[in-house]
Amino acid sequence: MIEIRDLSLTIHGTPILRDVDLSIASGQVVGLVGESGSGKSLTALALMDLLPHGSKAGGQILIDDTPLPTQAAEGHDRAMCKIRGNRISMIFQEPMTALNPVKTIGEQVAETLILHGAATRKDALRIASEKLTRVGLSPDRFPLDRYPHELSGGQRQRVCIAQAIALHPDLLIADEPTTALDVTTQAQILDLLRELVAEEEMGLLLITHDLAVVAGMADQVAVMKAGEIVEQGPTEGLFRTMSHPYTRQLLSASEHQPDRVDRAQDIPLLEVRKAIRDYPLPRTRLFEPRPQFRAVNGVSFHLNKGESLGLVGESGCGKSTLTRAILGLEPLQGGDTRLNGKTVGPDMDPARRSGMQVVFQDPYASFNPRWTVERIVSEPYHLTGRPENWRDHVADALSDVGLTEEAMHRYPHEFSGGQRQRIAIARALILEPELIVLDEAVSALDVSVRAQILDLLADLQRRKGLGFLFISHDLSVVRNITDRVLVMRAGEIVEEGPTETVFANPTHPYTKSLIDAAPVIPPDWKENPYGTALV
Amino acid sequence: MFRYLALRALSLGLSLVVASWVIFAMIELVPGDPASFMLGLNAEPDTVAALREELGLSGSAPTRYLNWVSGMVTGDFGRSYTYRVEVSELVWERMQVSLPLALFALILSTTIAIPVGMLAASRRGGIADYGIMGATQLGIAVPNFWFAMLLVLIFSIQLRWFSAGGFPGWDQGFWPGVKALTLPAVALALPQASILSRVMRSSLLEVLHQDYIRTARAKGLSMGQATRRHALRNALIPVLTILGLQFSFLLAGAIIIENVFFLPGLGRLIFQAITQRDLIVVESVVMLLVFAVILVTFLVDLAYALVDPRLRRRP
């Protein structure tokens, strides 16, 4: 039993957390939900006493009624070192970077055991092997001397779990453990965590932004907003009543369906015919041709004017490669793509390139931080030449995306994530293209911001008759914003059809597995006793 | 692993071949004929020609190139016409000073730099960090010969612990030799250690921000344990690169220090050979240095693979 009482936190004097009370019983899953910046992760780090520099924490944390050493106590870090990894352990969001690249997985799992004096080196390796087997990495397929780079993201997260549970902790903290993973991998990892909670009789504090994940996993839910827990209680009851407006707001934003008008015409805008894209692999023999990896294998589809087409698939399925080929950034090894009947490729003329623009996932990484918004938004003009009144066009594009002219002279870091994505959309709009490729364009945004951006996109489509190619791993978003959907797997389109039909009656087993793996909130939880929808 | 090594070895061989072309071409293009230089301005053309024949300077360029290369492969580096001895003998003698000196300086600079860099990184923003950053700044800015003079002033003239210069030769025993090389090695090592500890510091700081350090802390490692067990090896990769560059410099670039301490090393040999147009010596010593540099690069590549498993491939 872990109890947090009156936890407060300031960082360099700024209050971050206030009066956080939370208790996690053994064998129980407590979900902590909230948007980014709400203080979920810092609550976890406060439990671990791994807060950033300049933090001052107040309040009490008790394990089985014994208080943990407070920050002010003499030698508290040494005392906490005995608790971390032993009684409280933690796994993180990004499994790709969470493991030391120069140590084997066996060594890293065994380290927990040796460090806390639970086993000798030899025993520790044996126990590590058992733990890795338990999390699904049996030594016949994944020997202990494997290095992290030889494993996939999901497998690495399993290694992290193995090292976190090696000493039967009282509490496991999982901070967005599946956010970076594909939907089918996510389902497997969540299943594993659920089993381990029961087997090990440990508590699990599951931190996530995804209400659907919490609905399927947690016994108790706490909703956090701006450093405070605004509502908590048993999961089903909380979902059924939703007594706090913020909780309702989160739910409605996460399921937000933008108001769309079907503007699709029966004129093809983008046509992709039997597209093949090969990548050369490292040479195996000196004087033989390099082996090729076929990332896109004979893909054909079309996108009509004003239509919104979704492209879904898991990481590595070839959707990003296909996107680059569609944008004419890389050559195809077979087939062709046409925009308005004209061939697209790396050597097409700039004017044709201006007919389609792209918005990427991370708006910050796709801007030069030393450029003003004015310069960022007007950059595509290098394709067509800058008209006299280009500043007016920039202002128009900014107002189209809901920003004011005043933004023109500011720099990207002065904007929030959602505003930056608006700037990226303005940059895509400036040349008045017919097609906008949205490559995971809303995946990095919080649910409420995501809902606003989806509304904006729907609005732009209605007003300008734009065609959208919407690439995402997030099925619910694709379902809400597209007319038709393509499901891609291992370089091929395995299913295609009107979005609602595909989601309601998937025909390909892969599509079925994708839809089944996506976490959902049970529909009857969303009905309240008064018979009116809350959202 | 084998593939990685084989590729590295291949590129090593190719670099050597290209380097030999460049060196040979440079020597061909350098103005001044060694034979007429040796015989003075009033020499008879016949005498000059005879001397050229004797020195192996006549014949077409490709033949001379082939003679030079095949000679070197069999260990025959030609004969110095100023020293009137075999170049190989000369180089061997000088190597006995230069190689230990370079190694000594390298060991000193690494043993200073790695802990100092770690200390600065772990005390980031603290007094120790500021002190180290200031000292290393000074170490980089001040030329090594100035350090050399300072060391002589303190340890030879004032304290009389070391002699101010010269080298007794290894036949006088191991320790007298080491003693004679100590001051020059310190003078060489100080600027190098300054650079290296800064590289170590920044590399370690970067690594300490990585997610896997947080994971290590979450397992219950203290900051010190996490640094030693998880950060250090990852932080060494850029340090190795600099170390390789520094060794090459130490081997050949110690001319000034060798002069300050009157050490008969390779640097002085090549300097004198250039001033006296002893082109055979220049040619051979430069080629040897190129070989040493390429070899060090190869060793650094090897060390990368040892440190970073991502460079090794499973068969």
Q: Among A98-112, A360-374, B50-64, which is the least confidently predicted range? A: B50-64
Partners of residue A338 on adjacent β-strands: A271, A343
Token code pair at residue A52: 């950033």
If phi over 0 gives left and psi between -120 and 50 gives alpha, with beta otherwise, what is residue A162? alpha
Residue A85 near residue A110, CB atoms below 8 Å: no
Same domain, A188 and A327: no
Same domain, A455 and A486: yes
Entry field: residues in chain A: 535
Residue B37 near residue B43, CB atoms below 8 Å: no
Answer whether residue A361 is part of any domain. no
Average pLDDT over residues B71-88: 78
> Chain B residue closest to A45 (CA)?
B218
Token code pair at residue A64: 């089985």
Residue B234 near residue A101, CB atoms below 8 Å: yes
Structural domain range at position A227: 2-254
A150 touches chain B (CB under 8 A): yes
Query: Residue type at A522?
Result: P
Residue B204: pLDDT band (50, 70, 90) is: very high
**Interface contact A83-B222, CB threshold 8 A:** no
Average pLDDT over residues A56-80: 85
Answer whether residue A399 is part of any domain. no
Closest CB to B210: pick one of A97, A150, A164. Answer: A97
Q: In Å, how far is B240's CA from the nearest CA of chain A? A: 15
pLDDT of residue A534: 47
Distances (CA, A) of B217 to A45, B120, B205, B206: 11, 20, 16, 16
Find chain A residues with C-beta within 8 A of B13's C-beta: none
pLDDT of residue A98: 92
Rounded to a whole number of angstroms, the distance between the first and last alpha carbons of chain A is 35
Answer whether residue A426 is part of any domain. no
**Interface contact A99-B212, CB threshold 8 A:** yes
**DSSP assignment string, A242-277:** --SHHHHHHHHHHT----------SSEEEEEEEEEE
A269 touches chain B (CB under 8 A): no
User: Does residue B202 carry a pLDDT above 90?
Assistant: yes
Look at residues A254, A289, A317 and tell me which one is the last residue of a structural domain.
Answer: A254
Torsion of CA B155, B156, B162, B163, to 10 degrees: 160
Same domain, A86 and A170: yes
Determine the Cα–Cα distance for residues A189 and A517; give it in Å rounded to an integer.
11
Determine the Cα–Cα distance for residues A212 and B198; give it in Å rounded to an integer.
49
Determine the Cα–Cα distance for residues B300 and B152; give it in Å rounded to an integer.
34
Same domain, A192 and A107: yes
Determine the Cα–Cα distance for residues A304 and A375; give it in Å rounded to an integer.
32
Q: Which are the contacts of A407, defined by CB distance < 8 A and separation ≥ 6?
A: A373, A398, A415, A419, A423
Q: Which are the contacts of B286, defined by CB distance < 8 A and separation ≥ 6?
A: B23, B270
* Rg (chain A; Cα; Å): 25
**Interface contact A102-B221, CB threshold 8 A:** no
Determine the Cα–Cα distance for residues B100 and A405; give it in Å rounded to an integer.
69
Residue A293: pLDDT band (50, 70, 90) is: confident
Average pLDDT over residues A83-95: 91
User: Average pLDDT, whole number, for chain B?
Assistant: 84
Q: In Å, how far is A245's CA from the nearest CA of chain B? A: 35
Distances (CA, A) of A252 to A424, B264, B298: 25, 83, 61
Note which residues in 28-87 of chain A have CB less than 8 A from chain B: 48, 50, 77-78, 81-86
**Interface contact A50-B211, CB threshold 8 A:** no
pLDDT of residue A286: 65
Determine the Cα–Cα distance for residues A71 and A9; give it in Å rounded to an integer.
11
Q: A189-210 burial string, b = 16+ CB within 10 Å, else e? A: bbebbeebbeebebbbbbbbbb
In a mutational test of the A interface, the residue from B209, B213, B215, B233 whose CB has the highest number of chain A CBs within 10 Å is B215
Same domain, A177 and A235: yes
In a mutational test of the B interface, the residue from A86, A97, A100 whose CB has the highest number of chain B CBs within 10 Å is A100
Q: Which are the contacts of A428, defined by CB distance < 8 A and separation ≥ 6?
A: A357, A358, A359, A380, A436
Average pLDDT over residues A18-38: 91
**Interface contact A164-B218, CB threshold 8 A:** yes
**Interface contact A115-B222, CB threshold 8 A:** no
Find chain A residues with C-beta within 8 A of B214's C-beta: 50, 92, 98
* Strand, coil or helix: A24: strand
User: Average pLDDT, whole number, for chain A?
Assistant: 89
pLDDT of residue A532: 47
Q: Among A78-82, A314-318, A392-396, B60-64, which is the least confidently predicted range? A: B60-64
**Interface contact B219-A102, CB threshold 8 A:** no
**Closest of A298, A328, A334, A278 to residue A435, by C-alpha:** A328
Determine the Cα–Cα distance for residues A208 and A179; give it in Å rounded to an integer.
8
User: Does residue A203 carry a pLDDT above 60?
Assistant: yes
Determine the Cα–Cα distance for residues B268 and B255; give it in Å rounded to an integer.
6
Q: Among A22-26, A482-486, B289-293, which is the least confidently predicted range? A: B289-293
Same domain, A231 and A308: no
Find chain A residues with C-beta within 8 A of B218's C-beta: 48, 50, 84-85, 89-90, 92, 164
Average pLDDT over residues A185-202: 92
Look at residues A222, A254, A286 and tell me which one is the last residue of a structural domain.
Answer: A254
Determine the Cα–Cα distance for residues A177 and A189; give it in Å rounded to an integer.
8
> Chain B residue closest to A81 (CA)?
B220
pLDDT of residue B154: 84
Average pLDDT over residues A153-163: 93
pLDDT of residue B108: 92
**Interface contact A94-B308, CB threshold 8 A:** no
Distances (CA, A) of B4 to A514, B151, B208, B242: 40, 44, 29, 21
Average pLDDT over residues A118-140: 90
Note which residues in 163-202 of chain A have CB less than 8 A from chain B: 163-164
Answer whether residue A518 is part of any domain. yes
Residue B32: pLDDT band (50, 70, 90) is: low
pLDDT of residue A221: 95
Residue A104 near residue A164, CB atoms below 8 Å: no
Same domain, A158 and A249: yes
Q: In Å, how far is B200's CA from the nearest CA of chain A? A: 18
Q: Which are the contacts of A53, defined by CB distance < 8 A and separation ≥ 6?
A: none
pLDDT of residue B1: 65
Residue A462 near residue A287, CB atoms below 8 Å: no
Closest CB to A101: pick one of B219, B229, B310. Answer: B310
**Interface contact A101-B230, CB threshold 8 A:** no
Q: In Å, how far is A16's CA from the nearest CA of chain B? A: 21
Token code pair at residue A99: 């493991």
Provide, for chain B, the percentages of residues in helix, strand and coil under a 3-state DSSP scheme, each rounded to the nearest 5.
80, 0, 20
Q: What's phi and psi for A430, nearest 5 deg?
A: -60, -35
User: Residue B139: in which H helix or E strand, if any?
Assistant: helix B127-141
Same domain, A246 and A287: no
A409 touches chain B (CB under 8 A): no
Average pLDDT over residues B278-298: 83
User: Does residue A514 carry a pLDDT above 50?
Assistant: yes
**Interface contact B220-A100, CB threshold 8 A:** no
* Strand, coil or helix: B116: helix
Q: Which residue has the higher pLDDT, A304 or B66?
A: A304
Pairing of strands A342-343, A334-339: antiparallel
Answer whether residue A201 is part of any domain. yes
Average pLDDT over residues A491-506: 93
Query: Residue type at B69?
Result: V
Same domain, A283 and A138: no
* Rg (chain B; Cα; Å): 24
Residue A528: pLDDT band (50, 70, 90) is: low
Token code pair at residue B9: 């070895």
**Interface contact A84-B218, CB threshold 8 A:** yes
A253 touches chain B (CB under 8 A): no
Same domain, A451 and A513: yes
Closest CB to B221: pick one of A103, A115, A164. Answer: A115
**Closest of B188, B191, B194, B199 to residue B257, by C-alpha:** B188
Top CATH class, B92-311: mainly alpha
Token code pair at residue A421: 């994505």
Same domain, A241 and A294: no
Answer whether residue A94 is part of any domain. yes
Residue A403 near residue A426, CB atoms below 8 Å: yes
Determine the Cα–Cα distance for residues A478 and A269; give it in Å rounded to an integer.
20
Model pLDDT for residues A384-427, shown as the tens digit of each residue: 888 888 899 999 999 989 898 888 999 988 888 888 999 999 99
Answer whether residue A395 is part of any domain. no
Determine the Cα–Cα distance for residues B240 and B140; give it in Å rounded to an integer.
19
User: Does residue A219 carry a pLDDT above 90?
Assistant: yes
**Interface contact B222-A77, CB threshold 8 A:** yes
Which CATH number characterizes residue A273's domain? 3.40.50.300
What is the Cα A192 distance to its own chain's centre? 20
pLDDT of residue A135: 92
* Strand, coil or helix: A321: helix
**Interface contact A100-B309, CB threshold 8 A:** no
Residue A146 near residue A105, CB atoms below 8 Å: yes
Find chain A residues with C-beta within 8 A of B221's C-beta: 81, 85, 111, 115
Answer whether residue A405 is part of any domain. no
pLDDT of residue B315: 43
pLDDT of residue A158: 94
Find chain B residues with C-beta within 8 A of A163's C-beta: 215, 219
A229 touches chain B (CB under 8 A): no
Residue A342: count other Cβ atoms within 10 Å of its Cβ. 10
Residue B87: pLDDT band (50, 70, 90) is: confident
Q: What's phi and psi for B303, nearest 5 deg?
A: -65, -35
Determine the Cα–Cα distance for residues B263 and B96; give it in Å rounded to an integer.
11
Dihedral sign (CA A312, A317, A320, A324) = negative
Number of domains in chain A: 2
Q: What's phi and psi for A420, nearest 5 deg?
A: -65, -40
User: Does residue B158 carry a pLDDT above 90?
Assistant: no
> Chain B residue closest to A99 (CA)?
B212
Find chain B residues with C-beta within 8 A of A76's C-beta: none
Under DSSP, the state recorded for B229 is: I
Find chain B residues with C-beta within 8 A of A99's C-beta: 212, 215
pLDDT of residue B90: 85
Q: Which residue has the higher pLDDT, A375 or B70?
A: A375
Average pLDDT over residues A80-97: 91
Determine the Cα–Cα distance for residues B25 and B61; give it in Å rounded to an integer.
9
Under DSSP, the state recorded for A401 is: T
Write down the domain spans for chain B. 2-73, 92-311
**DSSP assignment string, A226-246:** TTEEEEEEEHHHHHHH--SHH
Same domain, A188 and A46: yes
Entry field: residues in chain B: 315
Average pLDDT over residues A463-483: 89
Q: What's phi and psi for A177, nearest 5 deg?
A: -65, -20
pLDDT of residue A531: 43
